[in-house]
Structure 1
Amino acid sequence: MSAQSVAVPAVLADPLANTYVCVAVYSVVGAAAVALASLAVGRAVRQLSLRANLALVVLTTVLAVVAGTALAVHKMVLTPEQMRVVVVVCAVSGTVAALVGLVLARGVVLDARRVRTLATSLAEAPVRRPAARQRPLRTKELEQIAGELELSAERLAESAARERTLEAARRELVASVSHDLRTPLAGLLALVEALEDGLADDPTPYLKSIRVEVDWLSRMVTDLFELSRLQAGRATSRADALPVHDLVSDTIASAQPLAQGLGIELDGTAPPSLVVSGDAAALMRALANLVANAIRYTSPGGRVFVAAEEREGSAAVTVCDTCGGIPEAHLPRVFDVGFRGDSARTPGADAGAGLGLAIVKGIAEAHGGSVTASNVEGGCCFTLLLPLG
Structure 2
Amino acid sequence: MMLSPHDLLLVVATAAGCTAATTVLALLVLRLRPSRSLAFQLVVVVVAALASVVCSTLAIAALMYLSLHDLQVLMWVVGVSTALSLVAALLTARSASAALAGLQEAVVRVGRGDVVDARPDGGKEFAELSAQLAETSERLAAARAQIEHLDASRRQFFAWISHDLRTPLTGISALAEALDDGAVARPEEYVRRIRNQAGTMSRLVDDLFELSQLTSGTYQLRPENVELLDVVSDAVSDVHELAAAKDIRITHADVEGRMLRADPHELTRVVVNLLTNSIRHAPRGSEVLVSAAERDGRLVLSVLDQGGGVDSDDLPYLFDVGWRASSARTPQAEPTGSPGAGLGLAIVRGIVRAHGGDVRAERAPQGFRLDVALPTAGGLLT
Same-fold call, TM > 0.5?
yes
Alpha carbons 1:274, 1:310 under 8 Å: kept: no
* Corresponding letter in the other structure for 2:133: L
Describe the SS at the equivalent of 2:299: strand
Partner of 2:211: 227
- Report Cα offsets for 1:281-304 as digits up to 9, x if no partner: 554433321122223334565333
Per the alignment, residue 168 of structure 2 pairs with 184
What's the counterpart of residue 287 of structure 2? 303
Distance 1:55 1:367, change over 3 A: farther
Match of 1:10 in 2: none
1:209-248 pair list within 5 angstroms: 209-230=193-214, 233-236=215-218, 243=225, 246-247=227-228
| Residue equivalent to 1:22 | 10
Residue aligning to 2:239: 258
Cα separation, partners in 2 of 1:239 and 1:22, compared to 1, 3 Å: farther
The gaps in structure 2 that reach 5 residues or longer are none
Provide, for residues 108-152 of structure 1, a one-character-per-residue CA deviation record: whole Å limited to 9, x for no partner: 212211221222122112xx322x23x414333333333332233
Distance 1:249 1:330, change over 3 A: farther
User: Which runs of 5 or more structure 1 residues have no equivalent in the other structure?
Assistant: 1-12
Give the one of 72, 85, 110 matched to 1:122. Answer: 110
Q: Kindly state the Cα deviation for residue 27 of structure 1 after the two structures are TM-superposed.
A: 1.7
Kindly report which structure 2 residues correspond to 1:270-285, keeping only aligned pairs within 5 A, or say none: 270=255, 272=257, 275=260, 282-285=266-269
- Distance in 2 between residues matched to 1:103 and 1:376, nearest whole Å: 63
Q: Secondary structure at the match of 1:320?
A: strand
Q: For residue 270 of structure 1, what is the amino acid of its counterpart?
A: V
Query: Is residue 24 of structure 2 the alignment partner of residue 36 of structure 1?
Result: yes
**Residue of structure 2 equivalent to 1:193:** 177
Once the two structures are superposed, residues 317-337 of structure 1 have per-residue CA deviations (whole angstroms, 9 ceiling, x without a partner) of 211123x33253685353342
Instruction: Identify which of 63, 68, 73 aligns with 1:80.
Output: 68
Correspondence for 1:249? 230
Structure-2 change in CA distance of 1:177 and 1:359 (3 Å): same
Deviation at residue 352 of structure 1 after TM alignment: 1.1
**How far did residue 356 of structure 1 move?**
1.2
Alignment CA distance shift 1:79-1:282 (3 Å): farther
* Structure number with larger C-alpha Rg: 1
TM-score, normalization by structure 2: 0.84
1:139 corresponds in structure 2 to 123
Q: Report the identity percentage.
A: 31
Question: Aligned residue for 1:207?
Answer: 191
Contact 1:229 1:235 in 2 (8 A): yes
Code of the aligned partner of 2:217 = A
CA deviation map 1:235-259 (0-9, x unaligned): 346577665x635532431431432
Residues 1:103 and 1:299: Cα distance change in structure 2 (over 3 Å): closer
Q: Is the 8 A contact 1:247 1:284 kept in 2?
A: no
Deviation at 1:306, TM superposition (A): 2.1
Partner of 1:287: 271
- Given candidates 324, 345, 352, the residue that maps to 1:339 is 324
**Alpha-carbon spacing, 1:15–1:69, altered in 2? closer, same or farther (3 Å):** closer
Which residue does 1:8 correspond to in 2?
none
The alignment status of 1:69 with 2:52, answered yes or no, reads no
CA displacement 1:188-238 (0-9 Å, x = unmatched): 1121112112223442211111111111111122223333444xx413465
Secondary structure of 1:86's counterpart equals helix
Q: 1:164 maps to what in 2?
A: 148
The 3 A distance-change label for structure 1 pair 347 and 384 is same
Q: Identify which of 355, 363, 370 aligns with 1:375.
A: 363
Tell whether the 8 Å contact from 1:314 to 1:387 is kept in structure 2 after alignment: yes
Give the direction of change, closer, same or farther, for the CA distance of 1:241–1:57 in structure 2 (3 Å limit).
Answer: farther
Are the counterparts in 2 of residues 169 and 338 from structure 1 also a CA contact under 8 Å? yes
Partners of 1:346 and 1:266 in 2: CA distance: 20
- In 1, the alpha carbon distance for the partners of 2:126 and 2:274 equals 52
What amino acid is the match of 2:189? Answer: P
Displacement after TM superposition at 1:373 (Å): 2.0
Whether the 8 Å contact between 1:321 and 1:381 is mirrored in structure 2 is yes
Amino acid paired to 2:255: A
Q: Which amino acid aligns with 1:57?
A: V
Q: Is the 8 A contact 1:274 1:315 kept in 2?
A: no
Per the alignment, residue 308 of structure 2 pairs with 325
Q: Deviations over 1:67-110 (max 9, x none)?
A: 11111111113111111111111111111111111211222212
Using a 3 Å threshold, how does the CA distance of structure 1 residues 46 and 248 change in structure 2: closer, same or farther? farther
The TM-score, its normalising length taken from structure 1, stands at 0.82
Query: What is the RMSD of the two structures over their aligned residues, measured on CA atoms?
Result: 3.1
Corresponding residue for residue 6 of structure 1? none
- Inter-partner Cα distance in structure 1 for 2:310 and 2:71: 93
Q: Aligned partner of 1:310: which letter?
A: E
* 3-state SS of paired residue (1:138): coil
Identify if the C-alpha distance between structure 1 residues 284 and 68 changes in structure 2 by more than 3 Å, giving closer, same or farther: farther
> Do the aligned residues in 2 keep the contact of 1:58 with 1:102 (CA within 8 Å)?
no
